Structure 1
């Protein structure tokens, strides 16, 4: 029989004191109470854990091996549970390939949109690309130098899984005897055995010939045969004198530039993916940035000469301790640089910043006889088998930089040359959510384009609106997921769930209002209401007054924290909570208790930290003065630039100045008054540690003093015990 309640009996997880509770389904239920009163123990560790555990157990043994198995919570009985989804405050993904667009699946719809109605252009001359006929392809190939050897290939399989036994038989029956399979040419009478679950590329070898006026007729027949086999796409490989591939050309009956002779492959959704080789920038593999040796880290003090140690990695040699040489210089490296100086007529005693840029490049990037300091470091980083050397080079001399080829857009030039309403896919993902909604609202399309894209644009606009409704109208779709704050990541998951349209699900949320300006609170509550109205149950752990007052049902835990908590103080509606005399939450809601505003500080302000010309992201060239020795709050609506000012500019600039960090701060002119600071510490929402050996005592350093204290006891001294004896991390102390 269908239950309209979640019934829990005898919950004892963590500090819960054998509680019984009935929670209404399909309602917005808020669990509140003091920090440590057992809210998360009830919501996440009992209700969510059991809902997830039961769902996983209902799956087949094969499916269960891929899913995380949750432990059964300490509870006597739970009924009325639905499949549960937890939306917590943690980064969605640390993968640099994960963006807001990929997490919300909006990028998948954009790929589909561009594949269906995108207009391809030549990446070189920017002219709109039109399909090529077989005759145009032949004419293009006949322009190759006489005597050029070519192989005409027909790509029949591109990046698909399978063994393809039948395909090889069919190709043989059609009279073709060779195929290029995963980069190698094979006889089809004896094809290789392909792995079923691995992606493969298979192209039929249609013909091999040498360009000359007499082969035009044969070339035409081969091109037409190749186009028929692969639905309008052929690949032509030209061969050099040693028979290696000199050039690979792609021709298409679909898209080709008549001016430049550039053809682009079939336009499909995967063509726009930066996570697949078909669309990803070949230089950075779709990351938009590369880890490279940084010139400023190699020569940190340009006032020094090369002889005096301007080249940091070669003034303090990087090598294993076993082979460490004595003295500050290696004769080998010095002789190399002396040779460079002789060849280009400059002195190693000249300060580095007084050398011409050309001579600086000869030192750093080399010449015909010398690989350069940077080239040497990059080669050693790639080739060394020593983890010590690799780690030294990486931590001291390498830095993440925007990829020069794709300029941070992650995609190939030919992909970025495809436009929708005048914008390429990267330009759209670079817009804020608010601007993207406006763009799709006002987009001008032909009747045909409207008919094709109607459902896709409808889905994109709906998902963008969900993000706007949870107060995230300022973020961009191209932003990396790892850079999101905990609250932002949680609200993105919330918007994604609304977009999925699931019904009958139990959603468990962890303080969704954290980091949200009061202006956006109402919109978040409307979003939660929409999720509830779809037919879902929402269980929200929350302290926010507006959220508590908007709840259909409230569970107040307490009366204290830790051992003094874990009991149900109240369960019911807001009107009844306000009358409850035992509830501490009710006393604050009624105004009986409050937090008094402290008197204004009388402390004299003498020194300031000044940020000049801050213009990173949305900051408009602002100057900010922050008093030192005071408690300063920086506030504003979501997306106003608070984190950009404090973290991207101030924190990164101070770590660079104080600790010589490799962090590159956001765009600003200067930081004044930083000399009056000797430490900078950031306290953010990232987890403090995941190791099972860490606990509050070890993390805070208290455990060190406890171990010292026990080692000084008379009994410990008699036995010769040191502080290590009382450590659970070393042999002798641990169980």
Structure 2
């Protein structure tokens, strides 16, 4: 079926029953035996590219060649060292050289591209970077900052979109937009040096940098009382056959420098193993011996920053379940009852009430053949998604299209006396999404917004208090104020008895956790070990922990 079908959707459906395995002939090297027979210092090209940047640098530094070989290879080796050095400068020395680009995070991919620019020596260029610090530990962040300053010193302009405190403080010029988000933003609050930003009373960013607002350290931390989930013999990728204990009923942070094995432990081993145990997932877990304590949890949920839907039909109202009660409200109005309209009439997904010219999308796709498809507003419904008859039905003076165009803050006040709707909208407000439109298409939401909508849906469920939530760097793309709101939501999940495990570099989240599991001490092959576990105060005084060194001045221990 997979080879014969021309349907992309059918191929995707078949792929969920397939698994990727190394080729038995070349064992995943992709090369013929003849190519693999050529060796330098006993290593073939496949063995060399399987090294991390750090290991490859060491290999070429220690490479000893005869005078004749040196004459041939001197310039080539010099260039290889130079390019590997660029990767090291941007904090990517833990990546293996044969790592596929699709497996790189957004921040990693940006830094790979940045590494290619460092050696070009160009001047008079404007470089634009969108949150290059994503996935970077504070130690590696300093390397990145010195690289960006090096580009500036060559005579270039470096524009960075960033929430990272250290990057903002090190900038020569800051442009702060706001003062709020969505409709409440879009204005320049202040522009100038970081000192001007901190002095501006209207700037929320400045208030956090100056210390007028802050995320407080918890007065007391929750202690492990419900036992542990123990993962034994973790040895996937660079993990060194470690046993990890995750205390249940707490907010747990997995920390460590970039490439220390955090994602391997939480995503590749823990999540896949639990997904296979609870949901019969086909994804193969990373190498480990066993997990002890599975009877203490009843499900696992991975809340990532992937979109809540891939089409404009998905939006916060449909995803959280608020749209159902809203449609029922419209169906109960006098006009709707007189016309015989049921709740389905107010759905843009089914025939009847929707605009058939655009099939309820509000936009029409125009195929551009050799260019990306273009989207234009439907000229029949003017983007309102519904036909004229449906829009004639109004609830408290608003039709269904006008309700979907409301911000969540506005919709909350509008539906204040309707408990089924009010409860769901209150949760969206609580996670800091009051500025988002109720019917905002899913593709236009950022990763952070999508993640918080998922959290709001989880909070709306009646839980058992035995759920394990996993989040991989949830603060990506979030402002200090958004991080404060996110922490409030995570703590609410924990207060219900659930366990929340977060992979994080953000010190504001790390200092507020109940328990830390710090991996390291370095990235790549020099990582994969447990450096320290316990409350943040305990990790802060651990001399081997890089996280502890940055945490110590914040906790003042």
* TM > 0.5 fold call: yes
Contact residue 486 and residue 685 of structure 1 kept, 8 A: no
Q: 1:488 to 1:705 in 2, by over 3 A?
A: farther
* 1:635 corresponds to: 255
Alignment of 1:118-197 (within 5 A): none
Contact residue 433 and residue 468 of structure 1 kept, 8 A: yes
Q: Which runs of 5+ in 2 are unaligned?
A: 356-557
* 1:612 corresponds to: 232
Question: How much does 1:389 deviate?
Answer: 9.6
Aligned partner of residue 19 in structure 2, secondary structure: strand
Pick the aligned partner of 2:344 from 724, 728, 731: 724
Report the aligned-residue RMSD.
Answer: 2.6
Contact residue 587 and residue 593 of structure 1 kept, 8 A: yes
Q: Confirm whether residue 410 of structure 1 aligns to residue 30 of structure 2.
A: yes
TM-score with structure 1 setting the length: 0.45
Pick the aligned partner of 2:75 from 434, 455, 458: 455
* 1:596 corresponds to: 216
Alignment of 1:393-432 (within 5 A): 395-396=16-17, 398-432=18-52
Pick the aligned partner of 2:287 from 645, 649, 667: 667
Contact residue 658 and residue 679 of structure 1 kept, 8 A: yes
Deviations 1:607-637 (A, max 9, x none): 3211001011111111111122221111111
Q: 1:702 to 1:390 in 2, by over 3 A?
A: same
Question: How much does 1:678 deviate?
Answer: 2.8
Pick the aligned partner of 2:102 from 477, 482, 505: 482
For 2:135 and 2:11, the matched residues in 1 are separated by 39
Question: How much does 1:500 deviate?
Answer: 4.0
Q: 1:458 to 1:687 in 2, by over 3 A?
A: farther
Question: How much does 1:382 deviate?
Answer: 5.6
* 2:141 corresponds to: 521
* 1:565 corresponds to: 185
Q: Confirm whether residue 733 of structure 1 aligns to residue 353 of structure 2.
A: yes
For 2:308 and 2:284, the matched residues in 1 are separated by 24
* 1:544 corresponds to: 164
For 2:8 and 2:83, the matched residues in 1 are separated by 45
* 2:471 corresponds to: none
Aligned partner of residue 569 in structure 1, secondary structure: strand
Aligned partner of residue 215 in structure 2, secondary structure: coil
Question: How much does 1:418 deviate?
Answer: 1.5
Aligned partner of residue 399 in structure 1, secondary structure: coil
Q: 1:506 to 1:689 in 2, by over 3 A?
A: farther
Question: How much does 1:558 deviate?
Answer: 2.0
Contact residue 490 and residue 512 of structure 1 kept, 8 A: yes
* 2:426 corresponds to: none
Contact residue 308 and residue 314 of structure 2 kept, 8 A: no
For 2:72 and 2:5, the matched residues in 1 are separated by 54
For 1:706 and 1:402, the matched residues in 2 are separated by 51
Contact residue 331 and residue 343 of structure 2 kept, 8 A: yes
* 2:302 corresponds to: 682
Question: How much does 1:582 deviate?
Answer: 3.1
Q: 1:413 to 1:586 in 2, by over 3 A?
A: same
For 2:107 and 2:216, the matched residues in 1 are separated by 27
Question: How much does 1:387 deviate?
Answer: 10
Deviations 1:372-405 (A, max 9, x none): xxxxxxxx76679999998886544x32222211
Question: How much does 1:677 deviate?
Answer: 2.6
* 2:272 corresponds to: 652
For 2:126 and 2:150, the matched residues in 1 are separated by 14
For 1:385 and 1:588, the matched residues in 2 are separated by 54
Contact residue 437 and residue 461 of structure 1 kept, 8 A: yes
For 2:203 and 2:253, the matched residues in 1 are separated by 31
Q: Confirm whether residue 711 of structure 1 aligns to residue 353 of structure 2.
A: no
Contact residue 486 and residue 686 of structure 1 kept, 8 A: no
TM-score with structure 2 setting the length: 0.59
For 1:600 and 1:582, the matched residues in 2 are separated by 32
For 1:426 and 1:717, the matched residues in 2 are separated by 71
For 2:7 and 2:59, the matched residues in 1 are separated by 52
Alignment of 1:431-442 (within 5 A): 431-442=51-62
Contact residue 224 and residue 247 of structure 2 kept, 8 A: no
For 2:115 and 2:155, the matched residues in 1 are separated by 16
For 2:188 and 2:288, the matched residues in 1 are separated by 52
